[in-house]
Structure 1
Amino acid sequence: MITAIKEVFKGLPDQRKGKNGVYAMEDAALAAFSVFYTQSPSFLAHQRAMEKTKGRSNAQNLFEMVLIPTDACIRKLLDPVDPQHVYPLFEQIFDALDAGGHIDSFRVKLDSSSPEADTLLMALDGTQYHQSADIHCHQCTKTEHKDGSVSYSHTMVSPVVVTPASNEVICLPPEFVEPQDGHAKQDCETMAAKRWFAAHGNRYAARGATFLGDDLYARQPLCEQVLASGGNFIFVCKPSSHGTVYEWINDLQRINAVPTHQVTWRKGRTVYTDTYRFVADVPLRDRDDALKVNWLELTTRDASGQETYHNAWITRHALDSDNVASIAEAGRARWKIENGANNVMKTKGYHLEHNFGHGEQHLASLFATFNLLAFLLHTFQGMVSEKYRLVREHLGTRTKFFHDIQALTTYWCFESFEALLDFMIKGLEIEGPDSS
């Protein structure tokens, strides 16, 4: 996969005059990416030292660099590069997983009339990866606070493929909240989501995508954009922001015209009851051109009547007593983006919120994209490489695995990633595939 990554990096725009620089653009990009892949800010420093003593390093052998650029050179070369140049790699990895049948386990069955699990759930959410009172660039969002202070931040919409059955997620290309040419109004998550759907919606809708999002996404223009791409949606719908929807629900409830379905289940010694209420063809807003949506509510109570969960969604999936539980479960899977992606990226070694270098143009967003790409490549390897999976499972935690990677690549020079994994399998005395 590193070879494919290098090929894309070769196409990164080079803003240098005369093109007579010492370092190639792909070397700068591979160097930056290697830091995120190994989760080691000091990886390049160790490889420079290794090259001096051994004449070769893991920067060349594992990441196919020709020369190892200095940190300052990496930042200078990459600052003008728009992250969009890296997005094809997300698509290539997704396609490779799909071709290998690894996406199939993420598919769910939402249509009660269909015998197959044919829907992919793709959750979108905004996540902030930089905030500072001092450090900023031209792409930052500027916020003026009531006390007169000013802060600068970076936020992105980071879609992922999720499934209720697992905490594992598959990262898709992000979209960044940043100033747009020709627009005086400050950018926001909703506008970034619209741009993401314009760029990628058709591609993933063709794979049977149902998009998940919080109440912010449950607005008619965005819902119509999803439908126009050929996709479907399950978006959270709150009474505080959807008065028309709930006026209709309340009117129907008064005449007992809201269907209800109940399911009782047990967890340990505690018995719970899920109550589903659902209504078809509710107007999303108070206008003649209102989009008609299907509304679903889930309330969970324990045996004493204490409410333990409540939420409601809108969708264009048809609802009936046979599939409301599956639709609600899919809607709840939106939280996988927080637990399986954002939390991992911020607390499990990727250090998404750390300032690896800010620059004046695109450096912060490009580094965030490299970080997401590293996470995606780790996911890919865990799915397709038995050796990688065996070592990860044996070491137990993500942190332990990458601590070992960091230590080994500091002191040993490996011919390839395969050789590195073989070394770990032998040293850990893991029974597995032939490592000869």
Structure 2
Amino acid sequence: MSNQIRTIVKASIRQAAHIEQIRLRKDLNADALFATMRSGFEKIKDHRPGQVKHTLADTLMSAFAMFSLKDPSLLAFDCRRLDDPDNLKTIYGMATIPSDTSMREILDPVDPTLLRPLFKDAFRPLQRGKVLEKMVFMEEGYLLNLDGTGYFSSSKLYSPACLEKKSRSGKITYHLQAVGAAVVHPGFREMIPLCPEIIRKQDGTTKQDCERNAVRRMLVKLRQDHPHLKFIVNEDSLASNAPHIRDLRELGFRYILGVKEGDHKFLFEYVDQAVEDGQAVELVLPDTKKEEISHCFRIVYHAPLNKGNQDIRVTFVEYWEDNPKRKKPLRFSWITDLSVTPDNVYQFMRGARARWKIENETFNTLKNQGYQFGHNFGLGKQHLSEVFVHLMMLAFLVDQIQQLCCPLFKAARKLYRTNRSFWEKVRYHFYGYVLKTMEELYYTLLLARRRNLTS
């Protein structure tokens, strides 16, 4: 189909659907972001000498396309590759598409750290386009949620990268985990995922890796990638320890860390004494929507972290919700180095409680809404599973950017109740029509929906 005919078809689609042309942002739409991914893949040197049937860039783009289209497995993607490769090649910019076996063989030796620059490539237009500024939280900083999650576990399958867990009966379970990071804001449903850090058996050592070490590696790399961005690290109570806080300070990160009384007895006793001595700030704020609910706060400044690290002074913030309909009130406690005052403590609480977004809006979405994060696409003998995790997270990043910035994507997504049903329709039209761009596909979705509503 020529460009002229295609333009006429696009215009007729909009006219038939009574849809005005939606203006897309230059670098923040699907087709532009796919081109960014393709350009980044082409910069990675192929580890195979001589001429090859499938270039590394094509292979990486094929795997990215699989996650982008939410195909449930490599086998499903391979079947579609054989049925109708035209749109895959045209829209994702591939010359050839490898089989599932070839894809695994080609990607297994790829060092996943080579994919890290692509997260910056996708992040940069958000900064240039002033989109990131909308997500500033407090003190010109961005909330950065960190958490670990498992993505593979088996008593039979394993790779050299797998961690091992031995039960009392002697049974060994092999597993892999990752630390995820995302820029979030309590006022936004969307988040901006950053490059993950894999928890795996490190090369040259027999020691087990752990989440704490992975977080430390992630923060060092993150500061190298974004030396000037102000981040406020938001983590659970496992992170509220002196070595981690010293790492955060050294790297220039602010922090909000959960604390529990059972783990910080000395700190909570200090807070109780401060309350008794009248040195705590206590206030109650009415809920703006429900009269029966009140938000209660207690702030203690310059509190010692624990008995052994009294040189580390923090601001302690406690929050509970007074709601007569709840048998057990919601109650949370945090430590922070932010300047919390009665004027901003409610905003602080909303940001601190937004930590759940890394679990619900990120990990649960990846596992349960089409990305198949818990599915084993292949362990390989070197880095295969890690490469797949990075490519999956890149696809998720592209989707989140579209959801934040692309009005056409948002209009098409709004037509469907769930992400799963939306992506089912995307795949149906992707493999059922000859298309040149994702822009055409989204307009096709709008037209199809319009016809269903008017028929």
TM-score, normalised relative to structure 2: 0.86
Q: Does 1:363 align with 2:384?
A: yes
Question: Retained in 1: the 8 A contact 2:178–2:197?
Answer: yes
Q: How far does residue 9 in structure 1 lie from its aligned partner after superposition?
A: 1.4
Q: How far apart, CA to CA, are the structure 2 residues paired with 1:344 and 1:374?
A: 12
Give the match for residue 217 of structure 1: 239
- Distance across 2 between alignment mates of 1:77 and 1:314: 46
- 1:379 paired residue number: 400
Question: 8 Å contact 1:122–1:162 — kept in the other structure?
Answer: yes
The corresponding residue for 1:405 is: 426
| Counterpart position of 1:320 | 341
- The alpha-carbon deviation at position 129 of structure 1 amounts to 0.9
Alignment partner, residue 83 of structure 2: 49
The alpha-carbon deviation at position 167 of structure 1 amounts to 2.3
AA partner of residue 86 (structure 1): L
Deviation sequence 1:157-191 (CA, Å, 0-9, x none): 11111111132211111111112245543111111
State the match for 1:433 in structure 2.
Answer: none
Q: CA deviation at 1:279?
A: 1.1
CA–CA separation in structure 2 for the residues paired with 1:67 and 1:209: 41
Task: Pick from 42, 45, 54 the counterpart of residue 23 of structure 1.
Answer: 54
Structure 1 residue 5 and structure 2 residue 66: aligned? no
Q: Which of residues 124, 145, 149 is equivalent to 1:95?
A: 124
Offset, 1:271: 1.0
The Cα of 1:34 is off from its aligned counterpart by 0.9
Name 1:434's counterpart in structure 2: none
The 1:72–1:205 alpha-carbon spacing in structure 2 relative to 1, beyond 3 Å, is: same
Unaligned runs of 5+ in 2: 1-32
- Of the structure 1 ranges 160-169 and 416-425, higher mean CA displacement relative to structure 2 is found in 416-425
Aligned-partner Cα distance in 1 for 2:64–2:311 = 46
Mapping of 1:142-181 within 5 angstroms? 142-181=164-203
Instruction: Tell me if structure 1 keeps the 8 A contact 2:88–2:94.
Output: yes
Residues in 1 aligned to 2:172 and 2:326: alpha-carbon distance in whole angstroms? 47
Which amino acid in the other structure matches residue 38 of structure 1?
A: L
Following the alignment from structure 1 to structure 2, what is the Cα–Cα distance between the partners of residues 359 and 206?
37
Which of 156, 168, 185 in structure 2 is aligned with 1:134? 156
Residue 289 to residue 297, structure 1, CA distance change in 2 (3 Å): closer
Report the CA distance between 1:355 and its aligned residue: 0.9
Tell me if structure 1 keeps the 8 A contact 2:242–2:309: no
CA distance in 2, matches of 1:327, 1:205: 24
Letter in 1 for 2:96: L
How far, CA to CA, are the matches of 2:402 and 2:293 in structure 1? Answer: 39
CA contact (8 A) 1:47 1:58 kept: no
Q: Please report how far the alpha carbon of residue 277 of structure 1 lies from its aligned counterpart in structure 2 after TM superposition.
A: 1.1
- Aligned identity (percent) is 26
C-alpha distance in 2 between matches for 1:134 and 1:178: 17
Measured in 2, the distance between the counterparts of 1:411 and 1:237 equals: 53
Give the secondary-structure state (helix, strand or coil) at the position aligned to 2:292.
Answer: strand
Alpha-carbon contact 1:175-1:195 (below 8 Å) kept? yes
**Counterpart among 287, 290, 294 of residue 311 in structure 2:** 290
Tell me, yes or no, if the aligned pair for 1:12 and 1:81 is still in contact at 8 Å. no
C-alpha distance 425-304 of structure 1, shift in aligned 2 (>3 A) = closer
* 1:31–1:44 contact (8 Å) kept in structure 2: no
Change in 2 beyond 3 A, CA 1:256/1:365: same
* Residues 209-218 or 92-101, more deviating: 92-101
Could you say which residue in structure 1 is the equivalent of 2:90? Answer: 61
Match of 1:347 in 2: 368
Aligned residue type for 1:27: D
* Among 262, 265, 269, the residue aligned to 1:243: 265
- Closer/same/farther in 2, CA of residues 88 and 322 from structure 1, 3 Å limit: same
Q: State the AA in 2 paired with 1:389.
A: K
What TM-score, normalized by structure 1, do the two folds share?
A: 0.90
Distance, in Å, in 1 between the alignment partners of 2:410 and 2:436 is 20
Q: Secondary structure at the match of 1:130?
A: strand
Secondary structure at the counterpart of residue 296 of structure 1: strand
Question: What is the rounded CA distance, in whole Å, between the counterparts of 1:418 and 1:326 in structure 2?
Answer: 38
State how far apart, in whole Å, the 1-side matches of 2:52 and 2:225 are.
38
**In structure 2, distance between residues paired with 1:390 and 1:137:** 43
**Segment drifting more, 189-198 vs 234-243:** 234-243
Q: CA deviation at 1:205?
A: 6.7
Per-residue displacement from partner, 1:4-41 (whole Å, max 9, x unpaired)? 2122212334333x333211111111111111000123
Could you report, residue by residue, the CA deviation over 1:248-305 in whole angstroms, capped at 9, with x for unpaired residues?
A: 223323433222111122655x612222111111222323673111111112122479
Partner of 1:185: 207
In structure 1, the residue matched to 2:19 is none
Q: Is 1:82 aligned with 2:111?
A: yes
Supply the distance in 1 between the matched residues of 2:128 and 2:47 (Cα, whole angstroms). 36
User: Distance in 1 between the 2:206 and 2:394 partners?
Assistant: 31
Q: Structure 1's 247 and 14: CA in aligned 2 closer, same or farther, altered over 3 A? A: same
Q: Structure 1 residues 203, 76: CA separation in 2 closer, same or farther (over 3 Å shift)?
A: closer
The residue that corresponds to 2:254 in the other structure is 232
In 2, the alpha carbon distance for the partners of 1:230 and 1:346 equals 32
Amino acid at match of 1:429: R
Cα pair 1:14 1:77 within 8 Å, conserved: no
Q: Deviation digits for residues 32-67 of structure 1, max 9, x if unmatched?
A: 11110001232342232335xxxxx11210111111
Counterparts of 1:297 and 1:237, CA distance in 2:
10
1:396 correspondence with 2:428 = no
- In the aligned structure 2, how far is the partner of 1:10 from the partner of 1:97? 22
> RMSD of the TM alignment (CA)?
2.1
Are the aligned partners of 2:190 and 2:403 in contact in 1 as well (CA < 8 Å)? no
Q: Is the 8 A contact 1:107 1:163 kept in 2?
A: yes
Rounded Cα–Cα distance in structure 1 between residues aligned with 2:189 and 2:235:
17
Query: Counterpart of 2:175 in structure 1: which amino acid?
Result: S
Kept in 2, the 8 Å contact 1:44–1:59? The answer is no
1:59 aligned partner, one-letter code: L
Kindly indicate whether structure 1 or structure 2 has the higher relative contact order, using CA contacts under 8 Å at least 6 residues apart: 2
- Aligned residue identity for 1:324: V
